[in-house]
Structure 1
Amino acid sequence: MTNNVIVLDTSVVIDGWVSHQVESGDYRGFRIVVPNVVLAEIEHMANQKRDVGKLGLNELERLRSLADNGIIVLEFTGERPSIAQVHDADRGELDALVRDTASKLGATLVTSDSVQAAAGRIMGLEVTVIAKKRPDSIVTLEEFFDERTMSVHLVENNPPRAKRGEPGDWELVDLSDHVLAFEELDQLANTILERARQDRASFIEIEEFGATVVQLRNYRIAIARPPFSDKMEISAIRPITKLDIDYYGLSPKLMNRLESRAEGILISGSPGSGKSTFAAALAEFYSKKGNVVKTLEQPRDLQVTDDIVQYAPLDRSMEKTADILLLVRPDYVVYDELRKNSDFQVYSDLRSAGVGMVGVVHAGSAIDAIQRLILGGRVELGQLPSTVDTVLHIEAGRVAKVAALSLKVKLPTGMSSSQRDLARPVIEVRDFERGVLEYEIFTFGGEKVVVPVHGETRPVMGERRETFERGTPGESVPISVSYSHKKVTVYAGKKYVKMRLDIFANDQYLLTTVTGRNGEASIRIKTRQGSALVDALEENATLTAKVAQSGDID
């Protein structure tokens, strides 16, 4: 070791191994030099809320403590880099300055970066590469997985656990009795990050203070540390199956729609239901049909063929990525997944530009997925059918429900035909396979309402209109309640036209109201009754109704 003087680069400071080497006796009494360019780069990373910045600062604090105790001599030397040099760190600008410092001091360059080590040797420097080590109790991430493991969950002060099985049919099992310590998880996390940086097929998707998401080949890994989480956790998810569209046994009618008509598709389902697996199969189906297919993902974990290019946010913005995609002119884009308002906006914008869209969304049912799309005006009601025409709901790895959307100008189901002036644009949501109308979405009283129709179909022209029976006193009445800034609307349906209804909140009597000719009652929001209804709605109370004892007002 030259002159017992070593110069540290950024990589070895972040890895935290120098302090361990000192504590083990390797560098006791050494003069340890940290160039100011290294301190500036680590400081910049910490200011950017990146975990590696915090790790680097922690290591420098440990080295300072060792120096204060007289175990080493710690020096900071050289000028701070310019802002431009810090931003160009990935181009080797700062690494070159570190090598210059080692050369001027005649010191040994200590690094854990293989590229930095090679460049130092080329310059004639003495170089020490600190190899990665890990405690004997830690295994590699892959050793936690077998062929039936969907995900692994490693939590500080807990034994390792895994979900084993398949979508919709899995169990959470303990992998051993060993309780994981913070140090074990910390070293495993650092190893994962280093592997991701060195492997061209892997990448770090998100790096924030306390939270990191890594795509390590086909493993999606989320790393959480305090203060983001109360304890350290590493969760790794791996797809256990890669399927094609034939596996799902879709009907010829649905296959024809997917191939020739469906261009705005939502794939819905709960976490772990197999949404992404189906999305990947659908992407490959479109690609095999001669279409240019791209994906928008964060993280990029869809298992697709090499002809499908997977895109991530550009400068943390999917909007910027979408701008680039329009120049690429794809036929279909798979967006995995729609979470925030900006995601739904990008999906809608690309669909409006004529791109076939497939969006993946967390939802408990097909209608819940549609409601997420219209929530808060993410998509205007009139644009809904042109933005999304088909919703495929996945349960236990299978297509459990298909909903088709269309726009009609009509009188909403349940309204009296004598009130033709109430006709309006209505979104019909039908069970695709059976053609049965299940929901209607329209604007009423300034509010968007989603009304279940429960299998009603349009009457055939010339068919004699069915006569509906009237409600009887004491009969329970299914109601829907909505409100705007002016009024509260209670909708009971045509069976209860011109009847007195008693309204209850959590089985407690609230008020009595009278329905009109269309089976609705409107109550001014500023009245005592209107305020009581609004309060009940905002408290998530269960609202029910019964026909009053003197129910009929005719």
Structure 2
Amino acid sequence: MGGGDLKLVLDTSVIIGGRITSLIDAGEYRDSTIIVPEAVVAEIESQANRHRESGYNGLEELGRLREMANLGMIELEFAGKRPGPAQVELARTGEIDAMIRQVALDCSATFMTGDRVQSMIADARGLEVIFLPPEKTEAKATAIEEFFTPDTMSVHLKDGVEPLAKKGSIKDIQLVRIGDTTSTEDELRSMARELIKRTRRDPDSFIEMEYDGATVLQLGNMRIAIASPPFSDGMEITVVRPVAFVSIDDYRMAGELKQRLAGQQRGVLIAGPPGAGKSTFAAGVAEFLQSCNKIVKTMESPRDLSVEDAITQYSPLEGSMEKTADLLLLVRPDYTIYDELRKTTDFQVFADMRLAGVGMVGVVHANRPVDAIQRLIGRVDLGMIPQVVDTVIFIERGEVASVQDIKFTVKVPHGMTESDLARPVIAVTDFESGRAEFEIYTYGEQVVVMPTAKTRETVPSAWGLAAERIRDEFRRKVNGPVKVELSGDNRATLWVNAIDIPEVIGKGGRNIETMEKRLGIHIDVRPLDSTQVSKGKESGKIMVPEISMKNKHIILKSCGVAGTDVEVMVEGELIFTATVGRKGDIRIVKDSDIGDKLQKALRDKLKISIRTLT
């Protein structure tokens, strides 16, 4: 095909895809007049200015067309108007596409496009159209594939750095140097353009996402991330591919897991650290469920699970997983694999679909099984968590390390004793042994995640949290020590120095009543004597404080004991106990019994000392 009379108007897809120069090299369209609309040039220039690899591909293709024109292989012309701000603003509605088609009409030329919508509209407008669909050709190895060996999991290339690769199995991964010379930006850009061209031509591959300075491709079984300035500090290409294709039967506890998954729709989290083999296991689960005559779909971004063709893989619809979920609820799958849960919206979509009755399997990063559950807290109502997720499968080094069962019950939480403390509790148990591992419940406004696998003596009670809060509140109001002991879920006893009791209670009980309402707990106030303060404590070092007098206070100052409970003594005799302030001082009101004793001791030149309680 060709001849001097043939005039071809190219749209953006043909140039970025690199098809036209390949066809000319093969002998087609020789001596033709190739017309490039100015709108196409503007679109390619805009993409390149935004550091998109497709823009650089387009510029390279324009350069090759110019070289062919210089060699007399074609005639190259530019026609039409450059789009203005109004056309750019309406680009998504097809305004620039219309400008490109208009050039073909004005030039009475054949219109060549790789965009099916463009071809159909051009045909309807009466244009002669050549449509170039993605071409399935014998795939040649790309330059980056030369870095891969059978045991290579990923290749990492960066400008100015020697090539690196992760090799081995999931159980034994090693980062090794795979080249002696550093990569250059030109080499990496050439590789990036080659990968994008290959992706555009392969109907089984796709560009997953493209942003300013970042492009993600799915080329066969390889996930390719391309980053360039200003997004990254240098040109970088990372290629990841699976090295193992396993079924669920290859894992520990396969029989129990298969029975659990096939029995009924469940909410499952597959958790583990990055690179542990979560997605590989998820693919095995998907294929097992498919073999059980269940309709299985996936929600992925990017779509890189290696599953059979019968399992449809969905990406965010118009950039939104919520819209994908809306569609899937109409499709009514038995199970959906969600890879992976990262953002709050991901967890909310997962929960909505599970509560709608769809079996859900989610992939989530976590260092411990309970961490996966904790990522739901605050994103899903606490009481709904067991209905959303009832199983956590923890993957570590490519193996099923543990399986947790999540149930909802009403009981007295671990570490508490009185029956009136019973409350709704989420119990996390080990699936194999049935041993309780964690309990999750609310205490006041806090959500408590309490380990239960340890002995009671080593596990702090939730009362400790409440006691600490009460202690902190009253330490701001009194100079002396504060002791708190809870005798129930809503009752506490507070011990303070007798001199501080009026300040704590307030006129007509106003202060203590306000504090009780604020803390949501009844407080009994009792005087504290020295034996109670010293109970369980030993005497520490003795210091002589610096003593100064202010308008209404006597100030005892000591260094290095801020926040410490101390005994204040005169000639070795205990006068009172106190807690040293943050600045290392103890303030005593002059016009008080203790103030009178200290002033008398100063007048009589008696020794005043401080002894810490450790």
Tell me the TM-score normalised to structure 1 length: 0.70
Q: 31, 34, 37: which one pairs with 1:35?
A: 37
Q: Deviation of residue 170 (structure 1)?
A: 1.1
- Provide Cα deviations, 1:36-77, integer angstroms capped at 9, x if missing partner: 32145347757998553577689999x9xxxxxxxxx99663
Q: Output the aligned Cα RMSD.
A: 4.8
Q: Deviations over 1:489-539 (max 9, x none)?
A: 3589xxxxxx9xxx9xxxxxxx97533235998999x99xx9xxxxxxxxx
CA contact (8 A) 1:479 1:491 kept: no
- Of 301, 306, 311, 1:308 maps to 311
| AA in 1 matched with 2:441 | F
- Partner of residue 403, structure 1: 404
Corresponding residue for 1:193? Answer: 196
Query: Aligned partners of 1:342 and 1:433: how far apart in 2?
Result: 32
1:533 is matched with: none
AA aligned to 1:314 is L
2:187 is the alignment partner of 1:184:
yes
Distance 2:95 2:50 in 1: 15
Shift of 1:363: 0.5
Shift of 1:409: 1.1
Q: Distance in 2 between matches of 1:438 and 1:428?
A: 8
User: Shift in Å at residue 206 of structure 1?
Assistant: 1.1
Secondary structure at the aligned position of 1:193 is classed as helix
Is it true that 1:550 corresponds to 2:520 in the alignment?
no
The residue aligned with 1:319 is 322
Letter in 1 for 2:428: V
The structure 1 residue matched to 2:269, chosen from 266, 271, 281, is 266
- CA gap 1:425/1:90 in 2 versus in 1, 3 angstroms: farther
Change (3 A) 1:251 1:220: closer
Instruction: Assess if the C-alpha contact under 8 Å between 1:37 and 1:98 holds in 2.
Output: no
Distance 2:34 2:306 in 1: 46
1:314 to 1:94, Cα distance in 2 relative to 1, 3 A: farther
Match of 1:219 in 2: 222
Residue correspondence of structure 1 range 107-186 to structure 2 within 5 A: 140-186=143-189
The equivalent of 2:258 in structure 1 is 255
1:7 and 1:447 map into 2 onto residues whose CA distance is 67
Question: What is the alpha-carbon distance in structure 2 between the residues aligned to residue 182 and residue 522 of structure 1?
Answer: 70
Contact 1:273-1:396 within 8 A present in 2 as well: yes
Query: CA separation of 1:7/1:482 partners in 2, compared to 1, >3 Å: closer, same or farther?
Result: farther
Matches within 5 A, 1:41-120: 41-42=43-44, 51-53=53-55, 77-78=80-81, 80=83, 86-87=91-92, 96-100=101-105
**CA distance in 1 between partners of 2:265 and 2:434 (Å):** 16
Q: For 2:179 and 2:50, locate their aligned partners in 1 and report how far apart those are by CA, in whole Å.
A: 37
The one-letter code matched in structure 2 to 1:41 is E
Distance 1:549 1:47, change over 3 A: farther
SS for the counterpart of 1:153 is strand
**Is the contact between residue 294 and residue 308 of structure 1 (CA under 8 Å) also seen in structure 2?**
yes
Residues of 2 paired with 1:359 and 1:482: CA distance? 35
**Alignment partner for residue 466 of structure 2, among 489, 493, 497?**
489
Check 1:171–1:184 CA distance in 2 against 1; reply closer, same or farther (3 A cut).
same
Distance 1:56 1:490, change over 3 A: farther
Deviation track 1:207-231 (CA, whole Å, cap 9, x = no partner) reads 1111111111110111111111101
Q: Deviations over 1:435-460 (max 9, x none)?
A: 1111010111111111111157xxxx
2-structure distance, mates of 1:522, 1:99? 89
> Normalising to structure 2: TM-score of the pair?
0.64
Residue 214 of structure 2 contacts residue 226 of structure 2 at CA under 8 Å; is this kept in 1?
yes
Q: Secondary structure at the match of 1:345?
A: helix
Aligned residues: 457
Change (3 A) 1:102 1:10: farther
Specify the alignment match of 1:357 in structure 2.
Answer: 360
Query: What runs of 5+ residues in structure 1 fail to find an aligned partner?
Result: 19-30, 64-72, 126-137, 457-467, 470-476, 493-498, 504-510, 531-546
The match for 2:279 is 276
Residue 442 of structure 1: aligned partner = 441
Using the TM superposition, give the Cα deviation of residue 373 of structure 1 relative to its aligned residue in structure 2, in angstroms.
1.3
- Separation of aligned partners in 1, 2:95 and 2:195: 19
Retained in 2: the 8 A contact 1:51–1:208? no
CA-to-aligned-CA distance 1:169-222 (integer Å, 9 cap, x gap): 111111111211111111111111121122111111111111111111110111
Give 1:551 shift: 3.5
Q: 1:405 to 1:17 in 2, by over 3 A?
A: closer
Secondary structure, aligned partner of 2:466: strand
Q: Do structure 1's residue 517 and structure 2's residue 487 form an aligned pair? A: yes
Match of 1:240 among 243, 258, 261: 243
Contact 1:414 1:518 in 2 (8 A): no
- CA 1:251 to 1:316, structure 2 compared with 1: closer, same or farther past 3 Å? closer
Percentage of matched positions with identical amino acids: 46
Is the 8 Å Cα contact of residues 244 and 284 (structure 1) preserved in structure 2? yes
Report if the CA contact (8 A) 1:403-1:430 is conserved: yes
2 CA distance for matches of 1:164 and 1:94? 50
Residue 550 of structure 1 deviates from its aligned partner by: 1.0
Tell me the CA shift for residue 253 of structure 1.
Answer: 3.7
* Inter-partner Cα distance in structure 2 for 1:102 and 1:156: 45
Aligned to 1:415: 416
SS of residue matched to 1:354: coil
**In the aligned structure 1, how far is the partner of 2:347 from the partner of 2:49?**
30
Hey, what's the Cα distance between the residues in 2 that align with 1:244 and 1:168? 17
Bigger RCO (CA 8 Å, 6+ sep): 1
Q: Which amino acid counterpart does residue 288 of structure 1 have in structure 2?
A: S
2:265–2:360 contact (8 Å) kept in structure 1: no
1:191 alignment partner, SS class: helix
Whichever of the two has the greater Rg, that structure is: 2
Does the 8 A contact of 1:210 with 1:225 survive in 2?
yes
1:167 deviation in Å?
Answer: 1.1
d(CA) in 2 for partners of 1:428, 1:443: 13
CA pair 322-300 structure 1, distance change in 2 beyond 3 A:
same
Q: Relative to structure 2, which stretch is displaced further, 301-310 or 76-85?
A: 76-85
Whole-Å Cα distance in 2 between the matches of residues 87 and 143 of structure 1? 39
Q: Which runs of 5+ in 2 are unaligned?
A: 21-32, 66-75, 131-140, 476-480, 495-503, 505-510, 516-531, 538-614
Provide, for residues 390-444 of structure 1, a one-character-per-residue CA deviation record: whole Å limited to 9, x for no partner: 0000001000011110011111111122xx3322110000011111111010111
Query: What is the SS of the residue equivalent to 2:261?
Result: helix
**Distance in 2 between residues matched to 1:352 and 1:53, nearest whole Å:** 44
* Conserved 8 A contact 2:160-2:184: yes
Say if 1:153 and 1:160, in contact at 8 Å, map to a contact too: yes
How far apart, in 2, do the equivalents of 1:442 and 1:387 lie?
16
Is contact 2:448-2:462 (8 Å) kept?
Answer: no
Distance 2:19 2:335 in 1: 47
**1:251/1:335 CA distance change after superposition, 3 Å:** closer
Amino acid at match of 1:452: P
Range with greater deviation from structure 2 (73-82 or 182-191): 73-82
1:446 and 1:514, CA in 2 relative to 1: closer, same or farther beyond 3 A? same
Does 2:378 align with 1:393? no
Match of 1:290 among 271, 275, 293: 293
Give the counterpart letter for 1:324 in structure 2: L
Q: How many angstroms apart in 2 are the aligned matches of 1:234 and 1:85?
A: 33
The CA distance in 1 between the partners of 2:306 and 2:369, in whole Å, is: 24
